[in-house]
Amino acid sequence: MPNAKFYLKNPKDKECVIRLFFNYSGNVLKYSTKLSCKQNQWDKKRHRLKSQAKGCAELNKILNNIEETILDIYNKLIVNKSFINNNILRDKLDIELGRTNKEDFFEYTLHYIDSKEELVTSTKRDYKQCFNTIKEFQKHSKYIVTFDSINLNFYEKFKSYVLTTKKHSKNTFGKRIKFIKSVMNYATELGVNTNLEYQKNRFKVLEEKKKHQYLSVDEVNQLKDVILEGKEDKARDVFLLFCYLGIRYGDYRQITRNNLSLKSGVYHLDILMNKVKSPISIPIDNNTLSILKKWDYKLPYISNSDINKYIKKACLKAGIDENVMENETVKKKYQLISCHTGRRSFATNGYISNVPIRTLMSITGHKKESTFYNYVQIKRSNELKQILTIYPNHLRKVS
Per-residue model confidence as pLDDT tens for the chain (399 residues): 899 999 998 776 667 889 999 999 999 999 988 888 888 889 999 999 998 888 889 999 999 999 999 999 999 989 988 888 888 898 888 888 877 655 578 888 888 887 776 666 777 888 999 999 999 999 899 888 989 899 999 999 999 999 999 999 898 999 999 999 999 998 887 778 889 999 999 999 998 777 788 999 999 999 999 999 999 999 999 999 999 999 988 888 889 999 999 888 889 999 888 776 778 889 999 999 999 999 999 999 999 999 999 999 999 999 999 998 877 789 999 999 999 899 999 999 998 888 888 998 888 888 888 778 877 867 665 555 555 555 655 544 444
What is the model's pTM? 0.58
d(CA 168, CA 33): 44
Structural domains for the chain: 3-84 (no CATH), 105-199 (1.10.150), 217-375 (1.10.443.10)
| Cross-strand bridge partners of residue 35 | 18
